[in-house]
Amino acid sequence: MLAMTCALLFALLMLTTFPASGSAAGKEDESRAKTATFAGGCFWCMEPAFDKLPGVVSVTVGYTGGRTKNPTYEEVSAGGTGHAESVQIIYDPSKITYAKLLDVFWRNIDPTVKDRQFCDVGNQYRSSIFYHDEEQKELAEESKKELEESKRFPGPIYTEIAPASQFYPAEEYHQQYYKKNPVRYKFYRWNCGRDARLLELWGRAAAGGAHQ
């Protein structure tokens, strides 16, 4: 009986001193996760570009960079709210770097046009990098400078770099639209000329197969 009591007390002591590894690992992952926010025209088409990358925890489509609180899709798409259709990415920096996310971002947009992307025209479809800290700002500015100095494109790079502000998730039917409505999504993407233009701009590196 004494041995059993001692064993129980020891087990309780161990549980108190060393919490379950699963919960500890979960908290560690949460604290390690970072956020990146990009705008590249229609958010339906930007979501799959990041969704399958190793190290990306989640991708949410929504609106940011504007003045109106809790905007609706109709309000943003009509223009006048100041918001851009965007994607907010939660990622694990130990598995994927912000520099890699920037690389994917550039190859999924047309940086040579202002206030539009492909067939979508208006400030709400501008291309933007919304930085969350000074490190992201520096990396974004460096990547834009490298692209400008490469002279890959004859004209200016219109993609803006701005501080991140309140992000409003879009309505549920917009989330994972490319999975929920694959036929309509693929037709829209083709009809908008997105992949043809990306191929023209970036060659074989265009979009990284994100349209599949």
Active-site positions?
Answer: 42
Beta carbons within 10 angstroms of residue 103's beta carbon: 14
DSSP 162-199: EE----EEPPGGGTTHHHHSHHHHHHHHHHTTHHHHHH
Query: b/e for 20-43, b at 16 or more Cβ within 10 A?
Result: eeeeeeeeeeeeeebbbbbbbbbb
Sign of CA dihedral 93, 95, 101, 102: positive
β strands within the chain, DSSP E: 34-40, 56-64, 84-91, 116-117, 120-121, 127-131, 160-163, 168-169
User: Does residue 73 contact residue 44 with C-beta atoms inside 8 Å?
Assistant: no
Enter the tokens of residue 2: 């004494």
